[in-house]
Structures are given as C-alpha cells and as structure tokens.
Amino acid sequence: MEKLIKLRGFYLFLGLAGGSFGSYLTLLLKANGLDVSQVGLLMAVGMSIAICIQPVWGMISDRYNQARLVLILSVAVPAVLAVFYRSDYFIVLLLVYTVSTIFSSTQAPIADSYAIAAANRAGSSYGSIRMMMSIGAAVGAYAGGQYIANFSVSTIWIPFLLLNAVAVIIALTLPKQAEENHMMSQSFSQGIRKLLGNRIFLAFLGGCFLVNQTMAAFGTYFVVAFQSVGGSSGNAGIALFIASVTNVPSMLYASKVIRRFGRERTLLLGALIYVLRWGIQVAFPYPSVMIGVQVLHGLSFGLFYIAAVEYVSQITSPEMQATGQSVFNIVFSGLAGILGNLLNGMLLEQGGVGLMNLACMLSSAVGAVLLIYVARSARSKAPLPVSSGGIGA
C-alpha cells in the first residue's frame, strides 16, 4: 500500500510537470524563431535517436539492477536541460531536445514496471495508478496556460524544473528494482524477432502506430492550431485540462470495460472514438468545438492506452513481458511520434488545421481497420511461445 501511494505521487508530479511544459513547448520554440516544420523536424530527429538508445537503458537497468537510478535520471536530466530551451539557435535546441528525449524515453517502461508489479501485488489495477498522471496533466495544462498568459513563455521551464524535482525526491524512496520485473530476460534482438513473427501482433502494432501518430497533432501542435483559428492561450489551457481530466474516469474504470468487452474490442472502441474526435474537428474547425471535443480524449486515449498495455501483457509470455512492452513503446511513442511530428507539422504549415485534422481522421480509420483484424483473431488466446523455433500466427 505504501508503494502504491508513492507511485501515485510520482505519477501525479510527472503529469503536473509534463502538462505545464510539454503542451506549450511548441509555443516556446516558435517564440524562439522556429516555424512549425522546423519544430516537427527537431522532435522527429530527437525521437529517432532516442529509439536507438532505448534498448540500452533496458540492458543497463537489468544488468546492473539499477531501475530506480535510470528512472531518476529520466526525470532529472530533462528537467535541468529545460533551461536551455530559451536559446534561439536551432542546433542548441535540437541538442537539448535530443538529450532530453534520450533520457525521458525510458520513463514509461521503467515506471510502468513498478506500477504493474505494485498493482498486482496489492490487488489493485494499473489504471488506478496511471490515472494520477492524467490528473496531474489536467491541472498542469490548465496552470501552464494561465502561467504563459500572465508571464513570459520563455520562463515555463521554472515550474517544470520544480515539479520534476519533487518527482525525483519521491523516486528516491522507491525500491532499487521493481518486484516481478522480467526486463530483458532474453536478448532484445531475439525477443523482437519472435514478436514480429506474429501477424496478429504486427497488425496490433500497425493499428497503434496509425492511431497514435495523430496524438502528435494534439500533444505537439494543439496550442498552435488552436491559436491559428482564433483561440487564446488561456482557453487552450482549459481545453488541455478537459482532455487530461477525462482520462481519469477512463483509466479508473478501464479494467471494468476490458472485462466486459475484452482487450481487443476495447482497443477497437478507442480507435473508433479517435476517428470521431478528428472527424468532428474536420467538420467544425472552431475554437469552441476544439475545446468541447476534448471530452472524447479520455474515451479515446485513456481506454486505448490501458487496453494496449494490458493486451501486450496478455499476448506475450512472462519471459517476454519487458521485450513486448519495449517494442510496443518504441512503436507507440517513438515511431508514431516521429511520423506524427513530421507529417502533422508539414500539414499544419502547408494546409492549415483542416488538412491536418483530415489526415488524422483518415489515419485513425485505417488503424481501426487493422484492429478489427486483431479483434476477430481474439479467439486465439495463447501467449506467444518463447522457444527457439519461432512464433506461429
């Protein structure tokens, strides 16, 4: 129980920090002289390098039994480097974002390994822990909007640094390594070959990739897109608050939804709500609608993410848990983030909000089609084998 409280506090302050800073980073970079396409390029390059580095973090954590140290570094280094976002040199901004992403990219796999193990041990659910990040992100996003409305956006790094400092202090009280941690029980390359030999898992990854790349249009470009149609920074904060706070009930009750409909159908439901939320913004590209449509965020991202993490846990055997989650995170956050930042930045720059929203709607729809295949294959419930003979579909 004590560990659950610590983890919930840790996720809360991560959400506060990320919500108050990450949502407005694009605005800060634009204030430093970058255009939207340059922002997309900067973020895509940073994520590309982080993807290559991410497996190394897993091996360090496993070989030297230093999950807590890796987790602390993943929070502390980006927080300290945030002060350099005030630079107006592209190369400096690229370097800062790249190094920050290299460290922060390991946050989710390590933190989730603690959360899943602690939840299982206490008879709780992963969603009940993860929702604290959504609560923090909701409050942080609203507070961040108010902050930049009253102060210079160039100082947004100050609350980011302070909030992350609290998260680091909490992380220092966590055990050195998560219980039941199966990270890197076999070589990363061997695990990838086995996982990617399964057609259903590939369809799942493809669906996640196409659906989540649209989140770059929200996470990276929402404030810029919102302002381009006449919205204010303060109202952008309200929209981001609504989006994050709707994740709370979704993540809290996700386990009940999954028990009723199954992981695969819950994934499909989340993807279809993605199509709906982007479709509404295509039809009605107005600030008031962009605020109101955020009530669908929890039903789309909240349900989708929890179901996806649990699906990976279900379809992979115990010896491949960490490898499966690592592959999922690389595709869901890494590759999807690269495409999303490059594509949506270019679309927003060249065709405006309408073209970007239309592309997001179509991408989500194709992703949903792939997840229909996954849902229809749900009757094959056996975990992926781990023998050297490979995987059957």
pLDDT along the chain (393 residues), means of 10: 83 91 86 84 81 68 67 91 88 90 78 75 77 86 87 89 94 71 52 75 94 87 88 85 85 84 91 96 92 90 88 74 73 86 88 93 96 82 42 33
What is the predicted pLDDT for the residue at 124?
A: 75
**What's the predicted TM-score (pTM) here?**
0.72
What is the predicted pLDDT for the residue at 391?
A: 32
Phi, psi of 356 (to 5 degrees): -65, -45
> Among 5, 253, 300, which Cα is nearest to 125's?
253
Asked if residue 78 lies in contact with residue 100, where contact means CB atoms within 8 angstroms, the answer is yes
Asked if residue 7 lies in contact with residue 133, where contact means CB atoms within 8 angstroms, the answer is no
Contacts (Cβ under 8 Å, ≥6 apart) of 243: 138, 141, 218, 294, 297, 298
- Other CB atoms within 10 Å distance of the CB of residue 91: 9
Contacts (Cβ under 8 Å, ≥6 apart) of 162: none
Phi, psi of 384 (to 5 degrees): -65, 135
Alpha-carbon gap, residue 283 to 306, rounded angstroms: 29
Asked if residue 21 lies in contact with residue 82, where contact means CB atoms within 8 angstroms, the answer is yes
What is the predicted pLDDT for the residue at 189?
A: 62
Greatest pairwise CA separation for the chain in angstroms = 62
Q: What's the length of the chain? A: 393
- Identify the helix (H) or strand (E) that includes residue 6: helix 2-21
